[in-house]
Amino acid sequence: MKILGFLLLLSGWAIVLGAVALLAPGGPRIAFLLSGIGVEAIGLAVFIRSHPLLRGERD
Amino acid sequence: MMPVPALSDLAVLLCAIAILLVPFAWAGLSLINTGLGRSRSAAHSMLSSLCAISVGAFVYFGWGFSWQGYSGGAAYHLVVGGKGWSWIAAGKFLLRGIVLDGSATSLAVLFGMCSVGLTALIPLGTGGDRWRLGAICGSTALLAGWTYPVFAHWVWGGGWLAQLGMAGGMGRGFVDAGGSSTIQAVGGLTALSIAWILGPRRGKYTWEGMPSAIPGHNSVLLLLGCMLALVGWIGLNVAGGLLFTGTDPGRAILIAVNTLLSAAAAALMGVAITRVRFGKPDASLSANGWIGGLVASSAGCAFVVPAEAIVIGGIAGMLVTFSVEWFELRFGVDDPSGAISAHAVGGIWGILSVGIFANFSGLAFPGGRQATAGGDSGQWLAQLAGVASLLGFVLPTTYALNWLLDRAYPQRVAAEGERQGMDLYELGSGAYPDFATHSEEFSQRRL
């Protein structure tokens, strides 16, 4: 789960980079940019859920 | 390549004075971290702050600035889509070739050296009561030597985020005058990584996963720290505005007013929310709100009117107050100082607020960063790209680096250290010698 979240964060950022560098200003670029951030948000959620009290002591 | 910006004599003087105020922010954050920790780790907390600032300064001097650079300096470019995107500076190590004479570049060096120390202080509160001093130094070296300079290059050194305006048609490119992203969000996301890697303090969560309250030991230190932080933040925002967004020196007063109003609105929002929800105002959450307001003010402090600064601060106070609870209750993240909420959440909101409220008319950004044919309408996209880079680059990078460090040198103190307190375990003496301590509790008994 942790690695999946990690990869989704990186993938979302790659989509954003691609949108910024390769697409001309306009609707498609905005859509790709927002999609990239959406993928990052999913990755962040997965990353957060993979860390429930992993190493902590629960006395 | 963008040209090296020139500053007027007045701007140089004002900028130097403003940068010299930044150590007040160090003092403020250090006191906040210490006040929100336990009394048995207070000396360790303050010494950790000094060590983090020192390690950060050395590493930044060694190679940090050479990778951050300044607008107009040498940099490596990646050509994509027919355009060259600057991704890292190519300066010489040990500041060779830079004359520290009051030029814009030399002021950027001093500003960076101060702000990297501030960035390094942010995770200290999160790792309080369980983060080893040696690991703090190692983690700070990674932050000051890689994560901070690379991201700061993208934003302040003429990097690809700054280029988004002219090369990408997104307003003026990513704009962050005082460091909501480069300092605060980077520090806050590092704090999140540290919280995950260290895990919660002993006794923080029950077996059912319910958090227990471990209150800070000194609210006076906490609130004094908030007041000192304001002075440092005004310096940070004024200096950043002058150096990185070409703000006219006359706007320094506007920046100071906006900074104060934003913090005030955020603190009052924290007081009001906790008063309504818990029946009495909560000092810790209100202080976190104050810091969140300062953090959120930084990015757009030079481009908004005071009424907008109040709105930015009020929203920051609300976000910080609720997110402290979300992180603790829902995500199982033990953050004694609330740094993740105040600096990461507040910082990201500050970045986005530029896209919503900022008005750049009449401003001459360094490096000729003027709006393209689309005007400033695409500014919000540039700000979103900055947030995406924080989540997609800074968080994975800082997590991976600290995870690797943890493999080589365990970052969390042994269980015995947590029981004794960091002061006695790592330093051998406590912060408050007047307190009666029973030495036999801490030393081996001779039977």
Please give the span between the terminal C-alpha atoms of chain B, in angstroms, as a whole number. 74
Shortest distance between the Cα of B164 and any Cα of chain A, in A, equals 8
Distance CA B136, CA B33 (A): 14
Give the pLDDT band (50/70/90) at residue A5. Answer: very high
- pTM of this prediction? 0.95
Residue A59 lies in a domain: no
Option in A25, A44, A52 nearest B391 (CB): A44
Chain B (311-340) residues lying within 8 Å, Cβ to Cβ, of chain A: 331-334
Asked if A25 reaches chain B (Cβ–Cβ under 8 Å), the answer is yes
Cβ-based neighbour number of residue B84 at 10 Å: 15
Shortest distance between the Cα of A31 and any Cα of chain B, in A, equals 11
Asked if A51 lies within 8 A of B331 by C-beta distance, the reply is: yes
Are B16 and B199 within 8 A, CB to CB? no
**What's residue B415's pLDDT?**
94
Chain A (40-59) residues lying within 8 Å, Cβ to Cβ, of chain B: 40, 43-44, 47-48, 51-59
Asked if A57 lies within 8 A of B203 by C-beta distance, the reply is: yes
Q: Residues A10-52: pLDDT tens digits?
A: 999 999 999 999 999 889 999 999 999 999 999 999 998 888 6
Its ipTM equals 0.93
Distance CA B206, CA B212 (A): 7
Residue A23 lies in a domain: yes
Question: Of all helices (H) and strands (E), which one includes residue B165?
Answer: none
Asked if A3 reaches chain B (Cβ–Cβ under 8 Å), the answer is no
Question: What are the CA-CA distances from residue B364 to residues B71, B104, B303, B334, B411 (Å)?
Answer: 14, 15, 12, 44, 46
Helix, coil or strand: residue B100:
coil
Shortest distance between the Cα of B160 and any Cα of chain A, in A, equals 10
Burial class (CB in 10 A: 0-12, 13-18, 19+), B18: buried
Contacts of B341 (CB under 8 A, 6+ apart): B188, B288, B292, B319, B320, B323, B324, B327, B335
Q: Where are the domains of chain B?
A: 9-432
Enter the tokens of residue A55.
């190493």
Are B129 and B422 within 8 A, CB to CB? yes
Option in B198, B385, B391 nearest A33 (CB): B385
Chain B environment of A25 (Cβ under 8 Å): 168-170, 374, 378
Contacts of B92 (CB under 8 A, 6+ apart): B66
How many domains does chain A contain in total? 1
CA-only gyration radius of chain B, Å: 21
Cβ-based neighbour number of residue B410 at 10 Å: 14
Q: Please give the full DSSP string across B204-249, using - where no structure is assigned.
A: SB-TTS-B-----S-HHHHHHHHHHHHHHHHHHHHHHHHHHS---G
Residue from A20, A49, A55 whose CB has the most chain B CBs within 10 Å, to mutate: A20
**What's residue B168's pLDDT?**
81
Shortest distance between the Cα of A58 and any Cα of chain B, in A, equals 5
- B29 CA to centre of own chain: 10
Task: Spell out, as residue ranges, where chain B has pLDDT lower than 50.
Answer: 440, 443, 445-447
- CATH code for the domain defined by B9-432: 1.10.3430.10
- The count of CB pairs under 8 A between chains A and B is 100
Residue of B nearest to A22 (CA): B81
Asked if A22 lies within 8 A of B81 by C-beta distance, the reply is: yes
Asked if A53 lies within 8 A of B200 by C-beta distance, the reply is: yes
Enter the tokens of residue B393.
């680059």
Q: Residues B187-242: pLDDT tens digits?
A: 999 999 999 999 999 999 988 888 998 999 999 999 999 999 999 999 999 999 99
Residue A22 lies in a domain: yes
Burial class (CB in 10 A: 0-12, 13-18, 19+), B307: exposed
Domain residues for the domain of A32 are 2-49
Chain B environment of A21 (Cβ under 8 Å): 80-81, 83, 85, 168
Distance CA B262, CA B430 (A): 37
Are B180 and B259 within 8 A, CB to CB? no
Are B343 and B299 within 8 A, CB to CB? no
Helix, coil or strand: residue B83:
strand
**What's residue B82's pLDDT?**
86
**What's residue B378's pLDDT?**
87
Distance CA B94, CA B108 (A): 15
**What's residue B437's pLDDT?**
55
Residue A57 lies in a domain: no
